[in-house]
A and B are shown apart, each in its own frame.
Chain A
């Protein structure tokens, strides 16, 4: 599996990314390379820096040290909306729908701002994304009134509407039932099948182990392990990070 991955080009290349908040180092020289088309997992205990890493990649935080490259171009200094237009999309851990809008209107924003979709095709394109995600029957509903699972789906749908090459899914399954987790997993597998590279941040081990081709483990802002799911499970340092001393 790894051999197959090596043949593909590197899509996202983060080199020694460091982020400090005052005296606290949230990320300490974390490097990771994600290959085109890969299903990449990122795990770690609470506060290990996963979301900070995503924020640095998507640009909502500026890293203090290190560099991040996407498709060979440097990301540092670019604003989040520019990175979105370059092809990096993310979903939020706590869903952030545009509450005054309907589900479909939520997709109009990224379609208008991040893609070249013409005005005539926008709602058609939006509907087809909603169908892929399984939200088509909710298109006209107020997005603030969706159920938890539908809000998670809307997060993914809105990310998809930016027409990304890289999709970062930040704990899209937290708090969902087991069948709902399977639902989201299936969507992510399908998107990956369409050629989208996916970084999955997840606490639900079953999901992340099944989904990922390669996994990086963060602990206290440092990368402590990297490899195939099976290797990660047996890594003593990972065990220590999760179970404590």
Chain B
């Protein structure tokens, strides 16, 4: 059955991840886990962004804000009672989901570029609030001590990597499910023409709220383990614009109308960045992201997925 082949693959990948991290069937350098974690984190962020940006056509420049709120929710939970990661993730998700819901109500008054600008404003207002909030460390940042090892994974990074792998599978699965559902078709209609969608019977506000909430939730879960990954979080790292740029660039480069696009974009661009950070410099690889983003929006608006489709179509004709 075609429907389940996606989940079959997902299960295989998850098991493979478990085999690597828990049973260490192949010795893997810890760096690969560190780098892989970041790539997977971008899979979640890009997929989350795409639910709002790609499917619905509402551009969110505030990914960094959501990501950071997810991270800082973890800081609060940790400060309160040393909460475990498995609690941080859903709570961060819910907090960011609510934030996304609030953003959804913004769409009542704001469309297009005004909405996009408002999301950027929202991220900076949030950053200012965090900078001025001493409980989470203010401008200086906050430390979280993580255990060096955790059973049954061994090294803690293996646990984080595996967690992010599951989150990535979850996020892609959710996006794929939305895309193929009735809700997904309604959301696509909103992207094409909101007024026409409403007049065709689509409950646009409800669907927009669903999309912004789900998107926010996923960004929050991506941010939740961040503090454990870095051990120290400060506003400038959690609210880094790089998250916003990457989460836009990856779906745009991969192809924004389908779940495959952000996945390809994040795996490709994320891996290139991780390799480039080590081999070249971290600034230069960001420059590459910027140039690629500009190049793709100009030359290949449908992204890699679009290019492949076009190529296949011309193959069929010939």
Contacts and interface: CB of A to CB of B under 8 A. Distances in A.
- SS class, residues of chain B in contact with chain A: helix
Contact of A60 (B182, B195, B203, B205): B195
How big is the B interface, by class? 20 to 34
Contact of B199 (A89, A108, A112): A89
Given A98-B188, A100-B257, A109 B193 contact: no
Interface string B100-133: 0000000000000000000000000000000000
A81 B204 contact: yes
B193 A97 contact: yes
Interface in A65-110: 79-81, 84-85, 89-90, 92, 96-101, 105, 108-110
Interface in B158-213: 182, 185-186, 188-189, 191-193, 195-205
A100 B203 CA distance: 19
How big is the A interface, by class? 20 to 34
B198 A112 contact: no
Contacts of A110: 200-201
Interface string A3-39: 0000000000000000000000000000000000000
Contacts of A84: 198-201
Interface string B206-250: 000000000000000000000000000000000000000000000
Nearest to B205: A79
Shortest Cβ-Cβ A-B pairs, 3 listed: A114-B201, A113-B201, A98-B192
Interface of A: 58, 60, 79-81, 84-85, 89-90, 92, 96-101, 105, 108-110, 112-115, 158, 161-162
Given A96-B196, A101-B192, A109-B197, 10 more contacts: A80-B198, A81-B204, A84-B198, A98-B189, A99-B193, A100-B191, A100-B257, A113-B202, A114-B201, A162-B200
Interface of B: 182, 185-186, 188-189, 191-193, 195-205, 257
